[in-house]
Structure 1
Amino acid sequence: MVSDIAGELARVRDAFDRPTLRLLDRKWAPFVLAVFKSSFSRDRRSVQADRLHAQVDAYLADLKSIGTDVPGRNGRALCVQWMNDLWLYRETGEDGEEQYSLTSHALEALLLVEGLARDRALISESRLTTIVDTVRHRATQANPDRDERIRRLDLEMAALAAERDRLAGGGEIAAASNSQMHEGYDNLIDLITQLPSDFKRVEESVAGMHRQIVNDFRGEERPISEVLDEYLSKTDALMSSTAEGRAFEGAIVLLRDESLLAALKNDLESILLHPFALELSAEERRSFMGTVSLIRKGVDDVLTQRNGLTTTLREHIVNHDVVKDRELERLLREINKELAIWMETAGPRSTVTAELMPGTLELEHLRERFYDPGAHKAPPPLEDVSAFAPEPQSLDAMRTQGGPLLGELRDAIVSAFTTDGAASVGDAFNRLDPALRRPVEILGLLQLATQVDAVTGIDASAADGSAAAEGAPTEAFDTVRPDGSRRTFSVPRITLTDDDTAALAALNYGPDHD
């Protein structure tokens, strides 16, 4: 008993480890399935990657706006996560752009949820009749007894002939009720909706074979013949030993029989002509009539995968190996050519010395320094010496160490000429407050005088505090340094007229000056 429950537990755990049940077992399973249901359909099997990212972002915003709890990631991150969980498959489409499609595991999860959400019970007369008819047909095929098979066929023929005679004799035709047609329709829909996941499983199996064979070819660890034999055996096993493969082969047989396809389309139309179809939505009727297209699409997807695999095999066999053979053949021809040249001068016992190791390469420069991880280490932290920092200077103290105070100097010079009757710029300078008589203020005065064109015929560069311009009258500028020391400079004499003084007073030194 213990061994039985342990075995069942292992099988159940294995089932829950599969992507289908992992999807249904997650916290955000309703959200993920709702996104898949809204983004993909029977007619829209794949969605362009950027478009799906934007759609998921829009779904997240809509749900947040109504107060629904949603994952805290954006659309792109969620799609990548779902792809890693084997619920989405990303590939490059025919237009060269990446696109997403649902895997067989996601399709199975959607099919299971849709089945559980149906209101109508699937255990019906239609389903039981389908089971009985299928069992009778398979039993006839399974019985090797010729007489028994003939007996079964005779019974079917007799029953059909009796029904035909009854109808031909004017017998009443019993029309199916809406309830019966609904039961049969639900049974068919249940079978039809399983086809996409079946086809997808076959497609994924072929894609897995494709990846394995490409890896074997690239590894070059096995002979090509062995890889081809394994491919053929896997193909036979895929199409014969699995339910999906058998369904795929049956679909191919159906698509090859045009009369059978035409009959299937007519039968689908006949079902929708029954009054019960008025209760179906337009989408349900369109989806039901698209059954043949669904089968064609599934077969085309599988064949596309098989064609890609076949193309890979052909290109590797035709191109890869032929290139190697040609390289070897070219090398052998060159060796023969060199041997023919050598034989023209070589004697009967001559030998050729073959180097076992290649010769030394002659390079002009080799790299002398290589990567050193220590060179990229961060420098050591600086020592905290803030305790030894001097007292910060005041703004006035820092201004005394800077350039000329043009605004204050201009106002003082204008006042000296208009009020105090200064005779020259030097005379006005020597009357100023000691704070405005720094040596650097001489340069400020020369700048002011130059701006009002009061400096004429004087080389201002000569007024550097050491010598006056040759041949020009000078005057002494008694300066006071910020530390209180004094020094006298000889500067070319400059006088200001009333117009110069007015122009100087009207100078604008920008928004920081009056």
Structure 2
Amino acid sequence: MSSIVAEHSRVASAFDEPTLSLLRGSLAPANVAILRTAFSQDQKTQAAARLHQVVDALLRELRERGLPHVPDGDGRDVCMLWVRRRWLTRDVDGTTYTLTSHAMQALGLVRDLTRDRVNLSEHRIKNIVDTANRLSVAANPDVEARKQRIREQIAANEAELARLDAGGQLEPVSADYILEGLVELQDLVSGLPIEFARVGEVVEALQEQLRADFRADDRPAGEIVADFLVRADDLTIATPEGRAFEGAFNLLDDDALLDQLRTDITSLVNHPDIASVLSATEKRAMVGIVRVIRDGARETMTKIVDTVETLNTFIRSRNVAEDRELDRVLMQVEDALGRWMLDAGPRVEVPAALVPDSAEITYLREKFYDPASDVPLDPLNETEDERPDSMSLEDLRRFGGPHLEVLRLALDTAGDGDWTVATHVFPQLPDDVRRPVDALGVLHLVADRDDLARTGQTELYVTRRPDGSEQVLLMPELKPTSRDESHDDEL
């Protein structure tokens, strides 16, 4: 491919980007003017309801003035069009709009073209030379050259210190030189929000790519989750933009460094020769540079952290088996439709029921997974001090089951005659064997004995609880059977 063809391909792809599409067409002046008015230089986010009202008012004013080429529709329609054109993004809840990096870059280009001051200045040229020199020294692998450079800097600083100690005067700096430096500093800072937004968009695009890869992966579910959790943790270093931001964030998050930057800018803005040149708006913009840097860096890091958490939640809660089953069904439907289209004519009709048959669903999910409710239970309170005293083995036996051996021996030794268990046997037992549970134990033993029978009457069992209180139970009357009756039953 020749160089001109390759260059034409690159330029064509650049013109397809939203940055240049915002600057093209008859509606471009109105779109850019409204965006510049609705979003100030240090404000990249607006509430959705407020932006609809602001854009609607600006559109109405442009139409009343008779200006040509004004977008159709109300404020909401225009904002939604900008979202589709990738000039604005809307959060998941739909409550806020944010400028994309493409829109920021286009607005920055228009700002540079409408600026009164020229970029060519002594300060800029000197800064270019100094930057190139520092970069050359840092990239030079020659140790001796580095040592020589450090010696020259030390000698120059010592010479300047000696001159000042000898009563030398400071070289005056002109107001134009300071002003040029401030303007250049503002130019450098103005590009940071664009880069912050670009990093966030790259991270979001990578998140969507990871989701698509996760759906298409055929490996075992456990291996997929482990792999993608690692990739989610390394999300910031997976792209050149993310690596560049992570390297810069260590400096941008240094409060001491940013405080020093604010102090330096404030002293420059309040310089006697500059204070009268800058307007109040320009002074606020200069002093707000630090806030733009800090807010942009932390908002981008917050977006990265939220993206990683969202991706982790998606991977942990994703049912791979169901996704694959749905993919197979859709592929079968698509395959069947393709075969049908080979023979179907242009007017072929397919009968379809208006109301589908009722589905036999055993269980219908009514509540879907909510990460907010997926929280562990509150820890149990420590109740070690409230634990009651431990019971001894003898105390446990007092509240245990019936004394079957003692009861069986008492029934076996009761002898013949006309007696009942509640009147003649049970009252003769020791107190600890006459509990309510022991009275029930008598019924348990009688069920397997032939020498005791129920008469059909009831009698009272006076029982004694382990605490000494008495309880009277009304239970069936039990009498011994005669030997003849027992013998007849056996025959």
Call closer, same or farther: CA 1:194–1:255 in 2, change over 3 Å: closer
The structure number with the bigger radius of gyration is 1
Q: Deviations over 1:260-306 (max 9, x none)?
A: 22321221112112222322122221121122211111112211221
Q: Deviations over 1:210-243 (max 9, x none)?
A: 22334444566552234345445653242xx34x
Is the contact between residue 216 and residue 227 of structure 1 (CA under 8 Å) also seen in structure 2? no
Letter aligned with residue 87 of structure 1: W
- C-alpha distance 3-323 of structure 1, shift in aligned 2 (>3 A): closer
Contact kept in structure 1, 2:236 and 2:304, CA below 8 Å? no
Alignment of 1:227-246 (within 5 A): 227-231=228-232, 235-238=236-239, 241-242=240-241, 245-246=243-244
- Alpha-carbon deviation of 1:28? 1.1
Please give the alpha-carbon distance, in whole angstroms, between the structure 2 residues aligned to 1:291 and 1:245: 24
Kindly state the Cα deviation for residue 323 of structure 1 after the two structures are TM-superposed: 13
Tell me how far 1:322 sits from its aligned partner.
Answer: 12
SS at match of 1:114: helix
Residue 277 of structure 1 aligns with an amino acid whose one-letter code is A
Cα distance in 2, alignment partners of residues 141 and 177 from structure 1: 31
Aligned to 1:396: none
Q: TM-score, normalised by structure 2?
A: 0.60
* Deviation, structure 1 residue 80: 1.1
Tell me what 1:83 maps to.
83
- In the other structure, the counterpart of 1:299 is 297
SS in 2 for 1:279: coil
CA RMSD of superposed structures (Å): 2.7
Gaps of 5+ in 2: 323-350, 356-491
Residue pair 1:90, 1:98 contacting (<8 A) in 2 also = yes
Work out whether residues 196 and 300 of structure 2, in 8 Å CA contact, stay in contact via their aligned partners in 1: yes
User: 1:136 is aligned with what amino acid?
Assistant: N
Question: Does residue 126 of structure 1 match 2:128?
Answer: no
The alpha-carbon distance between structure 1 residues 303 and 256, as it changes in their structure 2 partners (threshold 3 A), is: closer
Three-state SS of the structure 2 residue aligned to 1:68 is coil
**Residue 139 (structure 1) shift:** 1.2
State the SS of the aligned residue for 1:47. Answer: strand
Residues 1-400 of structure 1 mapped to structure 2, 5 A cutoff: 3-69=2-68, 70-92=70-92, 98-217=95-214, 221=218, 223-231=224-232, 235-238=236-239, 241-242=240-241, 245-246=243-244, 248-274=245-271, 275-316=273-314, 319=317, 371=353
TM-score between both structures, scaled by the size of structure 1 = 0.58
Of 194-203 and 68-77, the range deviating more from structure 2: 68-77
CA distance in 1, matches of 2:45, 2:26: 25
Q: 1:258 to 1:60 in 2, by over 3 A?
A: closer
What is the CA distance between 1:175 and its match in structure 2?
2.2
AA partner of residue 16 (structure 1):
F
User: Does structure 2 retain, via aligned residues, the 8 Å contact 1:189–1:288?
Assistant: yes
Deviation at 1:192, TM superposition (A): 0.9
Distance 2:197 2:78 in 1: 22
Measured in 1, the distance between the counterparts of 2:230 and 2:309 equals: 16
**Distance of 1:185 and 1:52 partners within structure 2:** 32
Query: Take 2:218 and 2:303, find their aligned partners in 1: how far apart are those partners?
Result: 25
Q: Measure how far apart 1:176 and its partner are.
A: 1.5
Bigger mean CA deviation after superposition, 119-128 or 313-322:
313-322
TM-superposed deviation, 1:132:
1.2
Partner of 1:495: none
